[in-house]
Amino acid sequence: MFDIFLDDAPALVVVLPLLISAIIAFMPSKIWPWIISIITLLLHLFLSLHLLKEISVSGLIIYEFGNWEPPWGISFKIDGVNIGLQLLFSIFVLVSTFYSRKIFLNEIDYRDSGKAYSLWLLAVGSLNGIILTNDIFNLFVFLEISALASISLIALGAGQNRKALLAAFNYLIIGAIGATFYVIGVGFAYAMTGTLNMNDLVIQLAQYSDGQLAIFAGMSFMLIGLMVKAAIFPVHIWLPPAYSYAPSAVSTLLAALATKTILYFFVRLLYEVFIIYPSYLRLFLDFVLYPLSLLAIFIGTVIAIYQDDIKKLLAFSSIAQIGYITLAFSLKDHSGVASGFVHIFNHALIKGGLFMAVGYFAILYKDRVTLNSLKGFGYKYPITSFALLICGLSLIGLPLTNGFISKLYLFQALYTNQMYLSIALVAVSSALAVVYFWKIVEQMWFSEIKFKSEKEDAYIYLPIWIVTISIIVFGIYSTPIIEFSNLSADYLISGYQN
Amino acid sequence: MSNSFLIILGIIIPLFAALFSYVCRYNNNLRDSFGIIGGLITFVISLKIFHGIQNNEVYQITFFTLFDGVDFAFKVSALGSIFSLVASSLWILASIYTIGYMRGAGEKNQTRFVIFYSIAIHAALAIAWSGNLLVLFIFYEILTFSTFPLVGHKQNAESQSAGRLYLSILVGTSLIFFLPAIFWIWLKTGTLDFQDGGILMNKFPAEYLSFLIAMLVFGIGKAAIMPIHRWLPAAMVAPTPVSALLHAVAVVKAGVFSFLVVVVYIVGPDFLLQTKSSDWLVWLACFTIMASSIIAITKDDLKARLAYSTISQLSYIILGAALASSLALKGASFHIITHALGKITLFFCAGAIYVTAHIKKVSDLKGMGYKLPLIFFAYTLGALSIIGVPPFIGSWSKFYLIMGSIEREFIIVAIILGISSLLNIYYLLQPVVIGFTQNSKKEIKLIKAPLTVWPPLITGLGCFVFFFYANYFLNNISGVIVN
């Protein structure tokens, strides 16, 4: 009986959270929505593991919705490119949901608990849809669902600070512009080819191999739309306020996974579909994405140095880190794409851990966490502070943490592409990361104020430490991340060579 | 005891010392004793390893693979055995001295101090025994981070800004130059292991070697070559035990040791001699020697003067490495020992003068020579050794360095070394002269702190005694040079 469900695993990982989301929306209890979410996500993890097993056997799953054959029906595709991301997504969502309960209880009205988890699962389901979908219009649908869910979640932060409403509104408007750009691009593509399925699109586009202005316009619209959504510099302005005014649990989820899933789709679109116009792709990567990535790395880091609000600081650091990922993706070869995926994995863990720890501090401090408010926290809350320290060292990229592995592979990729100037810039910006991170450490441990240590909540520091330990473990034993990333790059780049 | 177990024990004992100090934080005497006990144990281990290396024993242990071709591994080289011996033996004396100084000066947060002190020693020993360049880098960073709380110990505005400068220069240079250089070596050779004769020959393009050397020498900021030397005078705001053990021995020596290791076991002296890619560095080192000597003369603050003297002396070692001839390398390696012994004596004395008489400035030392005869005696011994007067141990390393520069036909370098010795005489012996010749009008109240007097006497006498046993160390050092 169970096997029937397993056959539909690709659909269920998306549909299950969406369904449960509707069920728990009006639950008045303050604990049941959380328990049901945890159970759902445990099932979700189980399904993801099942998918991993299937993929390791067959290598490719195309799931057709309602048995409508693609290109007519909507289909999901699971292959080497996204299976690693799917697994990371599943695990991290579970951990952050576990973490979210106490945070939500403190930051939002407990009667809103049902709504919050309903939106939470909505975001999870739709973000997961972005990872799996093989249909460019279906992607737009998931983009919109995830955007609406995230916006509502961000707006929940209004109980703490009214600026959350403004941040949510900003995101709504800018996100909508991005989505509109994307859907205009889809419209162009559909008008020219009559298809929305990505595999079919590749075939249909081939007939315009000499190049058509409409196609290029459509492609540009799609890419720019996705860039807005992925917060690639300079269209990142919605991200810092959104991350910093959202409830802490929400920032954790968004910072770790939301932009990453879109970045994944972005690179998939580039290397799987747009690859048939190599000259266009080269133009976009070399003259748009590459310089923007460098700017993002540098400017994001510098702005982060001048932030006083810790969540904002982390958000700007995210802009820089997204720059690292796009820099890697702009390299057009196996090592580049692989190192981009490595950093997607690693940065999800690092930023997730950092936002978790800072979110907990926000609850303890009962106000926005600024540099000043962190004074003496290292002694007051040693368990969480120590986790924050390790995550931060990983952000800088010191050896024995997974941040180092990211840096190693990024350097290697840049080196094989002979981009020595970028290497220098990445090195400088990682040194600048020390500056903004050390400002935090200095306040926490080396300020004049001293406290006796206080009790910390195990429900909160446990998930933080799970993430922190995984940071160290993947820093020492990096093989799983490297293999998943190489697998992703293998699939994408083999298309490039054809 | 097996050899690999010995390494683990040696590296882990300072950590245990830190842990026990924390556990016994409410009992001051017990807490401070762990430094001495830890020092004794690590010293015995280092000595055993030192002798083992002389008898061609192999000390190595591999824990796990970090990435392709790079393990988390320790392997004691001849050079490393020297460095660890210096660091651990002086840790014993420094621990005793710390007790006298910290209590005499009434410093706060003594528990935090001893804990990070032990962690810093742990990092220094791990650097000494690291099996490849990445492991060395890891502990190089740990050493920086663990000494930061010591530099900023006083927690006032001055020490805070000094701490920031310290950290930003050391971590900044290491991330911008050192780490990319390590990646570069790895990408070219596929390994980072230390091997006799180096790993770069035939694998690394010779025309870029000067560039790599530059990245390394500026990336290893702890070697304090100009213009990356500002952190060292800034770090002098720390309590004197830190300046003595860490900023005259462990930290700065870790810097020059790292560079020596790179020259001897990564680049290979032969490759360097063939390509002459480090000849430019000879001149930079000479410039640093002269410039910092001249700055030292202008400094009235005794610790600042000693700091600039340290910068100058460190460049002797860089100079030796850059010359890369066998005599120069011998001199450079030996200078790690001789300078450590001499400079720690001087810092001990500076701190002892501060604790007993609350004097920081050279010009205030008038007439103090008669009041603090033992301290001034020890100071004179240390100063003479650093100047390079026989029969003090410092004369050996200077001798070899001068021979090395003549061997490479850098006659001007030999002359510069001579001039530098003259400058040394001036700025190192001036305090002694002032102390014994001029009379002070002020009445100065003296505080007794015997624990700060004995350690410098021991090290000062050591400078004299070891002159006659130089061969004991030179045996190991000749193992360093294979060409």
* Torsion region of B191: left, alpha or beta (phi above 0 gives left; psi -120 to 50 gives alpha): beta
| Chain A contact set for B208 (CB, 8 A) | none
**DSSP secondary-structure letter at B440?**
P
- Residue A78's SS3 state is strand
Enumerate the domain spans of chain A.
291-498
Contact B28, B110 (CB under 8 A): yes
Mean pLDDT, residues A186-200 taken together:
88
In A25-79, alpha helices (H)? 32-58
| Chain B contact set for A477 (CB, 8 A) | 64
Given a cut of 80, whether residue A174 has pLDDT beyond it is: yes
| Chain B contact set for A424 (CB, 8 A) | 176, 180
| Chain B contact set for A476 (CB, 8 A) | 64, 66, 72
Shortest distance between the Cα of A360 and any Cα of chain B, in A, equals 25
Mean pLDDT, residues B217-243 taken together:
86
Shortest distance between the Cα of A179 and any Cα of chain B, in A, equals 39
Contact A438 B175 (CB under 8 A): no
Given a cut of 70, whether residue B483 has pLDDT beyond it is: no
Residue B328 confidence class, pLDDT cut points 50, 70, 90: confident
Condensed to tens digits (0 to 9), the pLDDT of residues A419-457 reads 888 899 889 998 899 888 988 988 888 877 777 788 888
Mean pLDDT, residues B335-339 taken together:
89
Beta strands in A340-412 (DSSP E): none
| Mean predicted lDDT score pLDDT of chain B | 86
Q: Say what the pLDDT of residue A119 is.
A: 92
Mean pLDDT, residues B58-81 taken together:
86
Condensed to tens digits (0 to 9), the pLDDT of residues B291-311 reads 999 999 888 888 888 889 999
Using the structure block, give the residue that is written with the tokens 């001087």. Answer: B346
Mean pLDDT, residues B404-425 taken together:
88
Contact A427 B179 (CB under 8 A): yes
- Residues whose CB falls within 8 Å of the CB of residue B265, separated by 6 or more in sequence, listed in order: B77, B79, B194, B195, B196, B198, B199
Residue A498 confidence class, pLDDT cut points 50, 70, 90: very low
- Compute the distance between CA of residue A246 and CA of residue A151 in angstroms, rounded to an integer: 9
Mean pLDDT is lowest, of A198-212, A217-231, B38-52, for A198-212
Condensed to tens digits (0 to 9), the pLDDT of residues A114-162 reads 888 999 999 999 999 999 999 999 999 999 999 999 999 999 888 888 8
**DSSP secondary-structure letter at B249?**
I
- Residues whose CB falls within 8 Å of the CB of residue A217, separated by 6 or more in sequence, listed in order: A185, A188
Q: Say what the pLDDT of residue B458 is.
A: 86
- Residues whose CB falls within 8 Å of the CB of residue A356, separated by 6 or more in sequence, listed in order: A96, A99, A248, A252, A460, A463, A464, A467
Contact A430 B175 (CB under 8 A): yes
Pick the residue from chain B with its C-alpha nearest to A482.
B67
- Compute the distance between CA of residue B14 and CA of residue B88 in angstroms, rounded to an integer: 10
Query: How many CB contacts within 8 angstroms connect chain A with chain B?
Result: 62
Nearest to B176 among A405, A427, A478 (CB): A427
Condensed to tens digits (0 to 9), the pLDDT of residues A89-118 reads 999 999 999 999 888 888 888 777 888 899
Q: Say what the pLDDT of residue A497 is.
A: 46
Contact A399 B138 (CB under 8 A): yes
Kindly state whether B66 is in contact with chain A, defined as any CB-CB distance less than 8 angstroms: yes
Write down the pTM of the prediction: 0.90
CA A460 to chain centre: 21
- Compute the distance between CA of residue A317 and CA of residue A296 in angstroms, rounded to an integer: 10
Condensed to tens digits (0 to 9), the pLDDT of residues B137-146 reads 999 999 999 8
Contact A412 B66 (CB under 8 A): no
Regarding beta strands A75-79 and A60-64, do their DSSP bridges make them parallel or antiparallel, or are they unpaired? antiparallel
Q: How many CB atoms lie under 10 A from the CB of residue A61? A: 18
Shortest distance between the Cα of B35 and any Cα of chain A, in A, equals 23
Enumerate the domain spans of chain B.
278-483
